[in-house]
Amino acid sequence: MPVVKVYDMTGAVTGEVNLSSELFGAEINATALHTVVKAYLANQRQGTQSTLTRAEVSGGGRKPWRQKGTGRARQGSTRAPQWKHGGVALGPKPRCYRISVNKKVKRIALVSALSAKANENAIIVVDGIAASEFKTRPMVKMLNAIGVEKKALVVLPTADKMTIKSFANIPGVLTTQANLLNVYDILNHGKLVIDKSALTTIEEVYSK
- Which tens digit of pLDDT belongs to each residue from 116-171? 999 988 999 998 888 888 999 989 999 999 888 889 999 998 888 999 999 998 99
What proportions of the chain, in percent to the nearest 5, are helix, strand and coil? 35, 15, 50
Predicted local confidence at residue 34, as pLDDT: 97
Confidence of residue 12 (pLDDT cuts 50, 70, 90): confident
pLDDT tens digit string along 45-95? Answer: 999 999 999 999 999 889 999 999 999 999 999 999 999 999 999 999 999
Q: What is the pLDDT of residue 2?
A: 80
Same domain, 157 and 190: yes
Taking residue 202's Cβ as centre, other Cβ atoms within 10 Å add up to 22
For 13, list phi and psi in degrees, rounded to 5: -80, 125
**One domain, residues 64 and 155:** no
Q: 125 and 186: one domain? A: yes
Does residue 41 sit in the same domain as residue 62?
no
- The number of folded domains in the chain is 2
Domain boundary among 96, 130, 156: 96
The answer to whether residues 172 and 76 belong to one domain is no
Quick: pLDDT tens for 83-106.
Answer: 999 999 999 999 999 999 999 999
Q: Give one word for 160, left, alpha or beta, with left for phi > 0 and alpha for psi -120 to 50.
A: beta
| Of the residues 65, 96, 127, the one at which a domain ends | 96
Q: Above 90 in pLDDT, residue 40?
A: yes
Where does a domain end: 34, 69, 96?
A: 96
Same domain, 149 and 91: no
Same domain, residue pair 156 and 178: yes
Domain that holds residue 167: 3-45+102-206
Residues 28 and 52 in one domain: no
Q: Are residues 89 and 15 both part of a single domain?
A: no
Same domain, 77 and 167: no
For the residues 24-28, what does the mean pLDDT come to?
Answer: 90
CB 105 within 8 A of CB 32: yes
The predicted model scores a pTM of: 0.82
Q: How far apart are CA 45 and CA 16, in angstroms?
A: 42
What per-residue string of b and e applies to 143-176 under the rule 16 or more CB within 10 Å gives b?
beebebeeebbbbbbeebeebbbbbeebeebbbb
CATH number of domain containing 170 = 3.40.1370.10
Residues 35, 76, single domain; the answer is: no
Same domain, 168 and 78: no
